[in-house]
Every structure is written in structure tokens, then in C-alpha cells.
């Protein structure tokens, strides 16, 4: 399965989700992105974005002060 990386650390709301949306738009359905973010709002924003847009939030985990999100593109 095709998996891409997106480093959104250091970016504040709404930039992590905006970058995630832009990257997903360029991918084929079923492709995945692993996004790293340290914005506290991402904990709320990423699941909400996925629910609203139909993408699947496969996994959420923390690595120290960074949250890691695995998102699969809908389609």
C-alpha cells in the first residue's frame, strides 16, 4: 500500500489540516499519509477533518510531544 509522509511539526492551526487536505487531494484513493504534528489543536482537528471528508483515520499515537496520524484517502 502506498504511504506518504507529511511533517507538520511547528505549524499551528489550521495549517496541519490544510496541508493534509492538499496532500490527500493529489493522491489516489486508498493511499495513506503518516502526518506528524505538535499543534495541540490537531488532536481535535484531524479526526474532525477525516469524519467530515470521508477519509479514514487509521491510527493515532503519540511520540513524545508529537502526535502521529495515519490517514487513508477515501474512494
3-state DSSP helix/strand/coil % of the chain, to nearest 5? 30, 35, 35
Q: What is the DSSP letter of 9?
A: T
Contacts of residue 27, defined as CB under 8 A and 6 or more positions apart, other chains included, come to 2, 4, 33, 73
11, 13, 27, 31: the active-site residue: 13
The answer to whether 50 is a known catalytic residue is no
Residues tagged active-site: 13
Amino acid at each position: 500500500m502506498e504511504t506518504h509522509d507529511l511533517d507538520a511539526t511547528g505549524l499551528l492551526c489550521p495549517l496541519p489540516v490544510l496541508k493534509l487536505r492538499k496532500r490527500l487531494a493529489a493522491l489516489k484513493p486508498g493511499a495513506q499519509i503518516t502526518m506528524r504534528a505538535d499543534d495541540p489543536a490537531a488532536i481535535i482537528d484531524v479526526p474532525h477533518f477525516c469524519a467530515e471528508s470521508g477519509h479514514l483515520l487509521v491510527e493515532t499515537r503519540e511520540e513524545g510531544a508529537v502526535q502521529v496520524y495515519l490517514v487513508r484517502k477515501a474512494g
